[in-house]
Amino acid sequence: MSARAGVLITGTEVLSGIIADRNGPWLSERLREIGVDAAQIVIVGDRRSDMLAALRFMAAEGLDVIVTSGGLGPTADDLTAEIVGQFCRREMVLDTALEARIGEILAPMLKRWPGLDPEAIRHSNRKQAVIPQGATVIDPVGTAPGLVVTPARGDGPTVVVLPGPPRELHPMWAAALLTEAFRAATAGATTYRTRILRLFGIPESAIADTLRAASEAGIDLDSLEVTTCLRRGEIEIATRYEPAVEHVYDAFADFVRRRHADSLFSEDGSTIDEQVAALLGGRTIAVAESCTGGLMAARLTDRPGSSAYFKGGLVVYSNDAKVALAGIDPDLIERHGAVSTEVAEALADGAIERLDATIGVGITGIAGPGGATAGKPVGLVCFSVHERGGEGITRSVNLPGGRVDVRDRATVVAMHLLRRLLLGSRSPEPARGERRNEKSRCGSGASPE
């Protein structure tokens, strides 16, 4: 069995939600990268009893390493070093060399703010140089040092103590990995491989059924750690395993591939955004969107190098904007309604012409209750993706959820339609369930889930 670790995030501001925890998931991922099984993430406030109870709970679970984040500042509520010393049964002592190092760090600050009382600053920061006896010190990036503390009696987990700010924690984590104490505690680390399959257009219940079927077919899923996640209409199957059972994962991936050939769009973990960017092949793209309010444009630009293929976006929420900015014929809106496949097609064409792009994307829909009718409910979104002078796909879907969900999921659907268009333009055979210049009447489409 691999070395196992827990992550303890401290801070009442994190526990209460004032600050979102970014360190827990980051540390968990870093632990897995070095073959250490991250078993738990626990968040506690700045209370002695709760911090100590969390450490003892993790120790009782047989963890080899505990990584803490936060609580290393100069104020009275910064208790982590003291509590870890108590947990490891080590006396707290003043490290004079560390005190001098912190003084060097503070010197430029005292010059910038000459009105500060130097002695008061040194006194408050002297607290940061009081550490558990025998601890390995990790040089601070800010003013707070990190620590690696082993239990005095050798009968418990080693504790890595890191500051809360990510800009300090990240480089100090790298330094902690090099310490002898950490290496000894994680001597049982193994090698993990992680593979991700991504599917679109099916419910999570279908994957649950697939897992049952795979097990019944004799695939030893117990030797794999398989997790599934439904996110924005996509299913992510993440599998972690040790190299010795690579053949089991291969059998599992092949089972999913055969069972969900129409829905599996990524076998190497690549995202739909990455695939669309790679498939563009020198073509440019522009969008004209209504209900998504610029989210599609933001998504297309959220990658390095997007300026090479993204020409721009038109946010045309009102009918007047559709006419003035995207060049939509007002009679078309009058005949079919702003939320229609006809207007979606015109928006895609307008984006191509107004922004001189190769490919246009048009999105119009009803994200909130204000514009809903009996025939066009909340969640109805019409899409069109066209290549200048070439192929096109137009369809409508009914997306679940409130305004935020509908807008977010609409960008996912649009990205998948783009991928299908791009694959179709380079392949003589469209995928099953698709056809060239595909079009469905607005309101007749089903949710992609």
Q: State which of 266, 285, 305 marks the end of a domain.
A: 266
CA distances from 186 to 3, 18, 82, 317 (A): 6, 33, 24, 56
Residues 231 and 324 in one domain: no
pLDDT single digits (tens) 120-148: 677 767 889 999 999 999 999 988 999 99
> What are all long-range contacts of 403-409, with beta carbons under 8 Å and residues at least 24 apart?
403/367, 403/368, 406/291, 406/365, 406/366, 406/367, 406/378, 406/379, 406/381, 407/291, 407/292, 407/293, 407/295, 407/367, 408/232, 408/295, 409/232, 409/233
Within-domain flag for 26: yes
Q: Give the position of tokens 């030893």.
A: 220
* Residue 103 confidence (pLDDT) above 60: yes
Determine the pLDDT at residue 367. Answer: 83
pTM: 0.80
- CA 256 to CA 261: how far, in whole Å? 8
Q: Do the Cβ atoms of 250 and 274 come closer than 8 Å? A: no
Domain that holds residue 397: 272-439
Among residues 185, 212, 239, the one where a domain terminates is: 185
| Average model confidence (pLDDT) across the chain | 90
Nearest to 159 by CA among 49, 242, 56, 47: 56
Confidence of residue 71 (pLDDT cuts 50, 70, 90): very high
**353 Cβ partners below 8 Å, 6+ apart?**
327
State whether 135 and 217 are in the same domain.
no
Q: Does 287 lie in the same domain as 240? A: no
DSSP one-letter code for 367? -
The Cα 206–Cα 262 span in angstroms is 13
The answer to whether residues 293 and 378 belong to one domain is yes
* pLDDT of res. 179: 97
Are both 204 and 156 inside the same structural domain?
A: no
Counting beta carbons within 10 angstroms of the beta carbon of residue 38, is it exposed (0 to 12), middle (13 to 18) or buried (19 or more)? buried
Q: CATH no. for residue 214?
A: 3.30.70.2860
Write out pLDDT tens, residues 350-402. 999 999 999 999 999 998 777 778 788 989 999 999 999 888 999 999 998 88
Q: Are the C-beta atoms of residues 313 and 296 closer than 8 Å to each other?
A: yes
Task: Copy the structure tokens of residue 401.
Answer: 């959820």
The closest alpha carbon to 151, from 177, 131, 132, 129, belongs to: 132
Residue 87 and residue 47 in one domain? yes
With a cut of 50, say whether residue 442 has pLDDT above it.
Answer: no
CATH number at residue 340: 3.90.950.20
- Residues 148 and 277 both lie in one domain: no
How many domains does the chain contain in total?
Answer: 3
Q: Measure the CA–CA gap between 32 and 322, rounded to whole angstroms.
A: 50
Report if residue 179 sits inside a domain.
yes
22, exposed or middle or buried, with CB in 10 Å at 0-12, 13-18, 19+? Answer: middle
* DSSP single-letter state for residue 135: P
Same structural domain for residues 53 and 130? yes
What does the CA dihedral 170, 171, 174, 175 come to, rounded to 10 degrees?
-130
